[in-house]
Amino acid sequence: MKFFFDRMLQTIPVVLGITLVVFSLMHLTPGDPVETMLGSVGHISQEDIDLIRHELGLDQPLWKQYLGFLGGICRGDWGMSLRYGVPVKELIRERLPATLELTLAAMLISLMIAIPAGVISAVHRYSLVDQASTLVSLIGVSLPDFWLGLVLILIFSVGLGWLPGGLRLGFEIAWPPTTTGLLLVDSLLAWNWEAFWAAMSHLLLPALALGAPLAALTMRITRSSMLDVIQQDYITFARAKGLREMVVIIKHALHNALIPTITVIALNMGTLLGGNMIIERIFSWPGLGQLVVDSIRTYDYPVVQGAVLLYALTYVGMNLAADLVYTRLDPRVAL
């Protein structure tokens, strides 16, 4: 438990540091939210602008604004969006499930491909299967995700017309009642198969585009750590007991080989969230990433700060979770 507590404490400066960096960057960028807001209104006097700035608290010194932001967070108040005039929390709550669904699907797809592929490659080292999956994973690591996204749309929606190239659900399908916000889950809960399959077909391409680089990386790590593990004495000993090869590989080898893989997966959860911004844009996915990009463009400071804080917390949380999973997988790491 002490291990867990120490790790929790360590996350505090990390999160604080991230908020400070984001806050400074946003405010140091040339441009002004009020001017952006009023850009289309036409002629407005400097007095009016100053008044609005005062109302939004933007005339305060930066350190006061930062402290105000931190204080708000502590009270559970993430501020109001400058552009929409609604609480940041509400905006995020609205958009988060879409992003979460996409990220989880990408993660699931990539693990389902990568771990078996990595294990098979290691067990049949230098075979045709190994060389083919090595080649595919090299391509996967090297391809930029936006390019892959566009190509997938080009092939599967524009060319073949098999899958939709954007949005979470087509316009012709009624949304299931919102319970979790995750469309797949909601449609299942409502027993609405039509919506389920539609949501699935919309999810597939963006999840694939987002998950491909992670799949490639995870496959490489799984392969190399499996190769290392299957040469260990305890694998030979397991075989010498008369265990079937399948049991040796899955129970004795994979369990040990997954330990480094878990770290990579956790660290990449952050990359997935970041990658979301581009993929969401390409697939018109109404998630957090799109919201952040739009908010950066319009200097909507509170939204950007809130979203980045959430990213930071997720990232830190995933690392913490990885450490905890570690202790489950490897008894030598003490809690």
Partner 1 sequence: MKQPLLEVKNLRTHFLTDAGVAKAVDGVDLTIAPGEVMGLVGESGCGKSVTALSIMGLIQPPGQIVDGQILFQGEDLLGLAEREMQKLRGGQIAMIFQDPLTTLNPVIRVGEQITEAIAIHQGKENMWEKAVQMLELVGIPSPKQRMMEYPHQLSGGMRQRVMIAIALSCHPSLLIADEPTTALDVTIQAQILDLIAGLQQELDMGILFITHDLGVVAEFCDRIAVMYAGKVVEVGDVKQVLTHPLHPYTRGLLRSIPRLQEPRHRIEPIEGLVPELHMLPPGCSFQDRCPLADKRCTRWEPSLREAAPDRLVSCLMIP
**Residues making contact with partner 1 (CB under 8 A):** 232-234, 236-245, 247, 251-252, 255-256, 329-332
How far apart CA 96 and CA 291 sit, in angstroms, is 10
CA contacts within 13 A on the Cβ side of 62: 10
How far apart CA 240 and CA 227 sit, in angstroms, is 19
How far apart CA 46 and CA 66 sit, in angstroms, is 25
How far apart CA 193 and CA 268 sit, in angstroms, is 32
Shortest separation between residue 260's beta carbon and partner 1, angstroms:
13
Residue pair 176/183 in contact (Cβ under 8 Å)? The answer is yes
In single-letter form, the type of residue at position 75 comes to R
How far apart CA 230 and CA 234 sit, in angstroms, is 8
Shortest separation between residue 249's beta carbon and partner 1, angstroms:
13
Q: Of 48 and 245, which CB lies nearer to partner 1 in the complex structure?
A: 245
Q: Of 47 and 233, which CB lies nearer to partner 1 in the complex structure?
A: 233
Q: Of 74 and 334, which CB lies nearer to partner 1 in the complex structure?
A: 334
* SS3 letters across 37-99: HHCCCCCCCHHHHHHHHHHCCCCCCHHHHHHHHHHHHHCCCCCECCCCCCEHHHHHHHHHHHH
Q: Of 81 and 256, which CB lies nearer to partner 1 in the complex structure?
A: 256
Residues 6 or more apart from 190 whose CB is under 8 A from it?
176, 177
Q: Which of 116, 278, 111 is nearest to 206 (CA)?
A: 278
Q: Of 93 and 244, which CB lies nearer to partner 1 in the complex structure?
A: 244
Shortest separation between residue 254's beta carbon and partner 1, angstroms:
10
Shortest separation between residue 322's beta carbon and partner 1, angstroms:
16
Q: Of 256 and 319, which CB lies nearer to partner 1 in the complex structure?
A: 256
Q: Of 2 and 332, which CB lies nearer to partner 1 in the complex structure?
A: 332
Shortest separation between residue 230's beta carbon and partner 1, angstroms:
9
Shortest separation between residue 241's beta carbon and partner 1, angstroms:
4
How far apart CA 134 and CA 139 sit, in angstroms, is 9
Shortest separation between residue 183's beta carbon and partner 1, angstroms:
38
Q: Of 180 and 231, which CB lies nearer to partner 1 in the complex structure?
A: 231
Residue pair 260/221 in contact (Cβ under 8 Å)? The answer is yes
Shortest separation between residue 113's beta carbon and partner 1, angstroms:
25
Residue 76 — left, alpha, or beta (φ > 0 → left; ψ -120 to 50 → alpha)? left
Burial class (CB in 10 A: 0-12, 13-18, 19+), 119: buried
